[in-house]
Amino acid sequence: MPTQHRKQASTPIIHVKAPARLHLGFLDLNGGLGRRFGSLGITLEKPCTQLSLSTATTLSVSGQNNQRVVKYAQQFCTQLELPTTFKIHVHQSIPEHIGLGSGTQLSLAVGLAIARYFGLSLSIREVASLLERGARSGIGVAAFEQGGFILDGGRAAQDVLPPPLITRIPFPNHWRILLIFDAQRQGVHGEQEVSAFRQLQPFPEELASHLCRLILMQALPALALAELNRFGLAIAELQRVVGDHFADAQGGRFSSPSVARVLAYLEQNGIVGVGQSSWGPTGFAIVESQTQAEQLLKQLQNQFTTVTTGLNFVICKGKNEGGSIQEEANFTLNRQISGIQ
């Protein structure tokens, strides 16, 4: 298609902020009803990915995750026949391969920034599909769209877009999430992840039915009513079942032995809503209040020597809003549009 020039008084600077998320597990790895997976997760207040895009004569990337940003930008622009006449600066990014959805959020941030820059009317889900995100889980996409606690409907073989959002419930504002990081580990990712899913043993239909009932009739009502104990017990049961199913691929119910020890300690001390996000190694504990979270943080810091184990603990809130896209006027040269009027 011929390149078009859109004349205007200014070219925008686009600012995008994308939230991390916890992936709590899959409901139906059996897939006998025609849809497989079915994920639930929680949008987090922190960490996050933030980047800015502005006009340039050719593509340049600065800040964090340069190679991945270049890859996503080129992939997106190639598919839509757009020129790479912009530069991107990544101010901060979610750490990679620790179970918090860094790849999806970075790709969405890049794609959405480019789409806004060129004035394209693309939905978040369409951008995700163009960048091949949401192949199994729709949690990261829905976290950017709306935030909160999210349940998606899994994926059918013929689906093109990410799994549909089924339920979104606000995460209680007074609850806190204690994140447990292991700097010495990374979760399964890339080709290893693809191979792990191929080699999974068949998931029993009875267990899938049990998990669906557990989430529908216990976890979701408990969350809606802010009943932490019942919610936490349901999440812990989901974690046990799904973690054991993935144990051969990740080296145990939880991928980090150090995080596993912390989670066992927490359960022994009455904390019920604990588990691992995605492939880990990041673990989590959901508690009633900021005060309880701070007390627990001190307790864990005293109990576990962070210098020798690589453990680190961070308190955060759930986030009941999605990502943000802001446009700032920048009075510079005209920008080019390729093939899009």
Domains annotated for the chain, with CATH where assigned, are 1-170+319-341 (3.30.230.10), 172-317 (3.30.70.890)
For range 159-166, the mean pLDDT = 91
Q: What is the largest CA-CA distance in the chain?
A: 66
The whole-angstrom separation of Cα 140 and Cα 144 is: 6
- The residue that leads in pLDDT, 191 or 319, is 319
Q: Residue 308 — very low, low, confident or very high, per pLDDT cuts 50/70/90?
A: low
Other Cβ atoms closer than 10 A to 112:
26
The whole-angstrom separation of Cα 40 and Cα 112 is: 24
The whole-angstrom separation of Cα 94 and Cα 230 is: 30
217-276 residue pLDDT tens: 999 999 999 999 999 999 999 999 999 999 999 999 999 999 999 999 999 999 999 999
- The residue that leads in pLDDT, 12 or 85, is 85
What tokens appear for 279 in the block?
């492939």
State yes or no: pLDDT of 2 exceeds 80: no
Other Cβ atoms closer than 10 A to 173:
10
- The residue that leads in pLDDT, 234 or 136, is 234
pTM for the model: 0.91
What is the 3-class SS of the chain, one letter each residue? CCEEEECCCCCCEEEEEEEEEEEEEEEECCCCCCCEEEEEEEEEEEEEEEEEEEECCCCEEEECCHHHHHHHHHHHHHHHCCCCCEEEEEEECCCCCCCCCHHHHHHHHHHHHHHHHCCCCCCHHHHHHHCCCCCCCCHHHHHHHCCCEEEECCECCCCCCCCCEEEEECCCCCCEEEEEEECCCCCCCCHHHHHHHHHCCCCCHHHHHHHHHHHHHHHHHHHHCCCHHHHHHHHHHHHHHHHHHCHHHHCCCCCCHHHHHHHHHHHHCCCCEEEECCCCCCEEEEECCHHHHHHHHHHHHHHCCHHHHCEEEEEECECCCCCEEEEECCCCCCEEEECCC
- The residue that leads in pLDDT, 134 or 283, is 283
Q: Residue 333 — very low, low, confident or very high, per pLDDT cuts 50/70/90?
A: very low
54-74 residue pLDDT tens: 999 999 999 988 899 999 999
Q: Residue 307 — very low, low, confident or very high, per pLDDT cuts 50/70/90?
A: low
pLDDT for 154: 96
Q: Residue 337 — very low, low, confident or very high, per pLDDT cuts 50/70/90?
A: very low
The whole-angstrom separation of Cα 9 and Cα 45 is: 36
Mean pLDDT of the chain: 92
**Contact indicator for 23, 235 with CB cutoff of 8 Å:** no
The whole-angstrom separation of Cα 89 and Cα 61 is: 6
Q: Is the peptide bond before 281 cis (omega within 30 degrees of 0)?
A: yes
